Amino acid sequence: MIPDEMKEIFEEFAVEAREQLENLENDMLELEKDPENEELLNRAFRSMHTIKGGAGFLGLNPIVEVAHKAEDLLGLMRSGELKLTPEINDVIFRAIDFIKVAISRYEEGEEVEMPEDLINDLISAKEGKTVSDKGEKQKLDELLDKYGLSHLKGKPIEEILEELILLPPDKRPEEVIKELDKLISVEPVSKEEAEKKDIEASKKMIEEVKVEEDKKLEVEEGKKEEEKDKVIEKKQKEEKTEKVQDQQVEKVLRIDVKKIEDLMNLVGELVLDRNRLLRIASNLMQEYQSKYTDELEAVLSSIDRIVGDLQIAVMKTRMQPVKRLFQKFPRVVRDISKMLGKEVELVMEGEDTELDKSILEKLEEPLIHIIRNSIDHGIEPPEERVRLGKPRKGVIKLKAYYQGDRIFIVVEDDGRGIDIEKVKQKALERGLVSEDKLEKMSEKELLFLIFNPGFSTAEKVSEVSGRGVGMDVVANTVSSFRGTIDVESQRGKGTKITMSFPLTIGIIRSIMVKIKDRIFAIPIYSVLEILPGESTEITTVSGREVLIVRDMTIPLINLSELLGIGESEIGYAIVAWVGNQRVAFTVEDLLGDEEIVVKPLGKLFGDIEGISGATITGDGKVVLILDLDGLLKRELRSTNV
DSSP string, 386-445: HHTT--SSEEEEEEEEEETTEEEEEEEE-S----HHHHHHHHHHTTSS-HHHHHH--HHH
Per-residue model confidence (pLDDT) at position 202: 53
* pLDDT digits 0-9 by tens, 431-481: 877 887 788 777 888 888 888 776 765 555 454 554 444 688 888 888 778
Per-residue model confidence (pLDDT) at position 51: 92
Per-residue model confidence (pLDDT) at position 568: 79
* pLDDT digits 0-9 by tens, 491-545: 999 999 999 887 766 777 889 999 988 899 998 877 889 999 888 888 887 778 8
Rounded Cα gap, residues 276 and 619, in angstroms: 6
Backbone angles phi, psi at 361, to 5 degrees: -65, -30
* pTM higher than 0.75: no
Q: What is the mean pLDDT of residues 93-120?
A: 90
The pLDDT confidence band at residue 274, using thresholds 50, 70 and 90, is confident
Q: Give me the active site residues, please.
A: 49, 71, 373
Predicted confidence (pLDDT) at residue 161 exceeds the cutoff of 80: no
Predicted confidence (pLDDT) at residue 130 exceeds the cutoff of 50: no
* pLDDT digits 0-9 by tens, 485-494: 889 999 999 9
> Maximum distance among all alpha carbons in the chain?
116
Rounded Cα gap, residues 187 and 183, in angstroms: 9
Predicted confidence (pLDDT) at residue 234 exceeds the cutoff of 70: no
DSSP secondary structure code for residue 187 in this structure? P
Predicted confidence (pLDDT) at residue 254 exceeds the cutoff of 70: no
Identify residue 582 by its one-letter amino acid code: R
Predicted confidence (pLDDT) at residue 91 exceeds the cutoff of 70: yes
Predicted confidence (pLDDT) at residue 123 exceeds the cutoff of 80: yes
Predicted confidence (pLDDT) at residue 155 exceeds the cutoff of 90: no
Report in angstroms the alpha-carbon separations of 507 from 278, 476, 613. Answer: 17, 21, 12
What's the mean per-residue pLDDT of the chain? 80
Per-residue model confidence (pLDDT) at position 259: 82
% of the chain at pLDDT higher than 90: 21
Q: What is the mean pLDDT of residues 53-78?
A: 90
